[in-house]
Structure 1
Amino acid sequence: MAGQRNFLLGHGERLVERVTPASGGTTPELPYTAEEARQRLLPQVRTAVETFDSLPAEACPSGKTVGLVTLHPQWIAKSYHPADFLRDNGLSYIGSRGAKVTPEKWTRQGEPVELETTELFVSGQRESFSHLVERLESPDAFPEGSPLQRVEAFRAPAALDKQRGVTSLPHSSSLFEVGLHIPSVDRDAIVRSFQRWARVCGASADFGRSIPVSGLIFMPVAAHAEELDELSRFSFLRVIRPMPKLRTLHPMERSLPVGALPPIEVPDEPVVDSSIRMAIFDGGLPSNGPMSPWAQSLDVPGVGAAMEEGTDHGHMVTSAALFGSLTPGEAAPRPFNSVDHYRILDDVEDDPYALYTALNRIRDVLEEKNYDFVNLSLGPELPIEDDEVHPWTAVLDEYLSHGQTFMTVAAGNNGNHDWASGNARVQVPSDCVNALAVGSANSRLKNWDRAGYSAIGPGRSPGLVKPDVLSFGGTQYEPFIFLPSNGTDAPLSAIGTSFAAPATLRMAAGIRAHFGGHIKPLGLRALLVHCAERGDMPVEEAGWGRVPDQLDAFVICPANSVRVLYQGAIEPGQTMRMPIPLPEDVKTGNVEISATYCINSPTDSRSPSTYTASAIEPVFRPHAEKFSNEDSVHPKTDSFFRSSDFLPENDLRKGAHKWETTKHRTLTKRASSLLRPVFDVKYHSRIEQLVGIPTEKVEYALVITLTSSRDVDIYNKVVRTYSGRLEILQPQVEIPITVQP
Structure 2
Amino acid sequence: MKKVVLGNGEKYAFDNVYRGRPTGDEPRPYPYSVSSRRVSKKVSDTLKVAEKLPKDATPDDEIVTAVTLHPSFLAKSYYPTSLLKDYSLKSLGSKEVFVKPEAAVNKEQQQRPVSTSVYYLAGKKTSFERLLSDIEKNTISEQSSIDLGKIEDLTLFSSEQKIKKHTESGIHTYEVVLHLKNSDTKKINDFINYISNLNGTISKDKIRYVGDLAFCFVKIDDQQILDLASFSFVRVVRIAPKINLFNSSFQDGDISSSSHINLKDQITYKNSDLKDLGDANVAVFDGGLFYNKLTSPSLRYFDLTGSSDNDSEIFTHGELVTSAIMYGTIDELSSDNHEIINVDHYKVYCEEDEDDIGLVDVLDRICSVLENKNYKIANISLGPEVPAPDDEPNLWTSTLDKIAGDGSILLVIAAGNTGGILKNSPQDYDLARIQPPADMLNGLSIGAANSNADIWERANYSSVGPGRRPGYVKPDALFFGGDDEPTGDKLRLLGLYDFEEKLKFGTSYAAPLVTRLAARLDNMTLGKMNVATLRALLIHSTESTSDKKGCGWGRITDNIENYIFCDDNTVTVIYQGTLTKSSGVRAAIPCPESLKISKTKIDLAATLCFYTEVDHKHPVSYSRAGIEVTFRPHSEKFKINKETGKMALEANTRTLFNKENILGNEQNLRKDAHKWETCYKVDDVFQASTINDPALDIKYLTRDEGHALTSKEMASLPILNYSLVITLRTRKNTNLYDEILNEYDLLQPISINITPDVTV
TM range, normalised to the smaller chain? over 0.9
* Contact 1:644–1:652 (CA under 8 A) maintained in structure 2: no
The equivalent position to 2:374 in structure 1, one of 350, 367, 370, is 370
Structure 2 Cα separation of the partners of residues 14 and 306 of structure 1: 57
Structure 2 Cα separation of the partners of residues 603 and 345 of structure 1: 27
Deviation at 1:683, TM superposition (A): 0.5
Partner in structure 1 of residue 659 of structure 2: 643
2:407 equivalent to 1:385: no
**What does the per-residue CA deviation read over 1:37-63, in whole Å, with 9 as the maximum and x for residues that have no partner?**
111111111111112222222112222
* Contact 2:329–2:493 (CA under 8 A) maintained in structure 1: yes
Structure 1 Cα separation of the partners of residues 311 and 400 of structure 2: 26
Question: Does 574-583 or 464-473 show the bigger shift?
Answer: 574-583
Deviation at 1:77, TM superposition (A): 2.1
* Contact 1:306–1:346 (CA under 8 A) maintained in structure 2: no
Partner in structure 1 of residue 133 of structure 2: 134
Structure 2 Cα separation of the partners of residues 456 and 228 of structure 1: 31
**Matched residue SS, 2:594:** coil
**What does the per-residue CA deviation read over 1:699-737, in whole Å, with 9 as the maximum and x for residues that have no partner?**
1000000001124300001111111x1111131366999
**What does the per-residue CA deviation read over 1:518-571, in whole Å, with 9 as the maximum and x for residues that have no partner?**
21010000000011111x451111111111112101011145100000001101
Deviation at 1:207, TM superposition (A): 2.2
Deviation at 1:310, TM superposition (A): 0.9
Structure 2 Cα separation of the partners of residues 62 and 229 of structure 1: 21
* Contact 2:569–2:730 (CA under 8 A) maintained in structure 1: yes
Structure 2 Cα separation of the partners of residues 245 and 616 of structure 1: 36
Map 1:92-107 to 2 at 5 A.
92-107=90-105
Partner in structure 1 of residue 643 of structure 2: none
Map 1:615-694 to 2 at 5 A.
615-629=626-640, 630-645=646-661, 646-687=663-704
Partner in structure 2 of residue 494 of structure 1: 504
Map 1:145-544 to 2 at 5 A.
146-166=146-166, 168-171=167-170, 173-182=171-180, 187-250=184-247, 252-253=248-249, 255-257=251-253, 259-260=255-256, 262-263=260-261, 264=263, 265-266=266-267, 267-268=270-271, 269-270=273-274, 274=278, 276-289=280-293, 292-300=296-304, 302-305=306-309, 307-327=311-331, 330=334, 334-348=338-352, 350-353=354-357, 355-418=359-422, 419-421=426-428, 422-476=430-484, 477-487=488-498, 490-534=500-544, 536-544=545-553
**What does the per-residue CA deviation read over 1:436-487, in whole Å, with 9 as the maximum and x for residues that have no partner?**
0000011122222111111111112111100101011012521111212423
Deviation at 1:666, TM superposition (A): 0.8
Cα distance change, pair 51–605 in 1 and its aligned pair in 2 (3 A): same
Deviation at 1:215, TM superposition (A): 1.2
AA matched with 2:520: G
* Contact 1:283–1:306 (CA under 8 A) maintained in structure 2: no
The equivalent position to 1:596 in structure 2, one of 582, 607, 610, is 607
* Contact 2:568–2:736 (CA under 8 A) maintained in structure 1: no
Structure 2 Cα separation of the partners of residues 564 and 349 of structure 1: 47
* Contact 2:2–2:757 (CA under 8 A) maintained in structure 1: no
Which 5+ residue runs of structure 2 have no aligned equivalent?
Answer: 641-645
Structure 2 Cα separation of the partners of residues 329 and 678 of structure 1: 44
Partner in structure 2 of residue 117 of structure 1: 116
Structure 2 Cα separation of the partners of residues 736 and 275 of structure 1: 30
AA matched with 2:622: Y
More helix as a share of residues: 2
Deviation at 1:112, TM superposition (A): 5.2
Deviation at 1:84, TM superposition (A): 2.7
Deviation at 1:584, TM superposition (A): 2.3
Structure 2 Cα separation of the partners of residues 311 and 621 of structure 1: 54
Cα distance change, pair 82–426 in 1 and its aligned pair in 2 (3 A): same
Cα distance change, pair 296–317 in 1 and its aligned pair in 2 (3 A): same
Structure 1 Cα separation of the partners of residues 556 and 479 of structure 2: 5
AA matched with 1:234: F
**What does the per-residue CA deviation read over 1:634-689, in whole Å, with 9 as the maximum and x for residues that have no partner?**
21111112311434544454421111111211101110000000000110000365
Structure 2 Cα separation of the partners of residues 333 and 709 of structure 1: 31
2:554 equivalent to 1:545: yes
**Matched residue SS, 1:74:** helix
Structure 2 Cα separation of the partners of residues 352 and 276 of structure 1: 30
**Matched residue SS, 2:186:** helix
Question: Does 106-115 or 591-600 show the bigger shift?
Answer: 106-115
* Contact 2:415–2:475 (CA under 8 A) maintained in structure 1: yes
Deviation at 1:245, TM superposition (A): 0.6
Structure 1 Cα separation of the partners of residues 368 and 15 of structure 2: 40
* Contact 1:647–1:657 (CA under 8 A) maintained in structure 2: no
Deviation at 1:625, TM superposition (A): 0.3
Which 5+ residue runs of structure 1 have no aligned equivalent?
Answer: none
Structure 2 Cα separation of the partners of residues 486 and 131 of structure 1: 72
AA matched with 2:391: D
Cα distance change, pair 282–481 in 1 and its aligned pair in 2 (3 A): same
**What does the per-residue CA deviation read over 1:133-174, in whole Å, with 9 as the maximum and x for residues that have no partner?**
1122134635487111111000001211111133x3222x21
Partner in structure 2 of residue 727 of structure 1: 748
**Matched residue SS, 1:116:** strand
Structure 1 Cα separation of the partners of residues 311 and 160 of structure 2: 40
* Contact 1:106–1:112 (CA under 8 A) maintained in structure 2: no
How large is the Cα RMSD of the aligned pairs? 2.4
Structure 2 Cα separation of the partners of residues 659 and 424 of structure 1: 25
Structure 2 Cα separation of the partners of residues 191 and 648 of structure 1: 44
Structure 2 Cα separation of the partners of residues 567 and 256 of structure 1: 46
* Contact 1:18–1:576 (CA under 8 A) maintained in structure 2: yes
* Contact 2:114–2:668 (CA under 8 A) maintained in structure 1: no
2:718 equivalent to 1:696: yes
* Contact 2:6–2:574 (CA under 8 A) maintained in structure 1: yes
Partner in structure 1 of residue 738 of structure 2: 716
Question: Does 612-621 or 202-211 show the bigger shift?
Answer: 202-211
Structure 2 Cα separation of the partners of residues 537 and 631 of structure 1: 39
Question: Does 514-523 or 297-306 show the bigger shift?
Answer: 297-306
**Count of residues paired in the alignment:** 727
Cα distance change, pair 499–416 in 1 and its aligned pair in 2 (3 A): same
**What does the per-residue CA deviation read over 1:474-507, in whole Å, with 9 as the maximum and x for residues that have no partner?**
125211112124235x311210000110100111
AA matched with 1:435: G
Deviation at 1:338, TM superposition (A): 0.9
TM-score (normalizing by structure 2): 0.91
Structure 2 Cα separation of the partners of residues 480 and 396 of structure 1: 29
AA matched with 1:708: T
**Matched residue SS, 1:640:** coil
AA matched with 1:608: P
* Contact 2:93–2:705 (CA under 8 A) maintained in structure 1: no
Partner in structure 1 of residue 13 of structure 2: 16
**What does the per-residue CA deviation read over 1:400-445, in whole Å, with 9 as the maximum and x for residues that have no partner?**
0010101100000111114443111111110001100000011122
Cα distance change, pair 306–405 in 1 and its aligned pair in 2 (3 A): farther
AA matched with 2:122: S
Question: Does 634-643 or 520-529 show the bigger shift?
Answer: 634-643
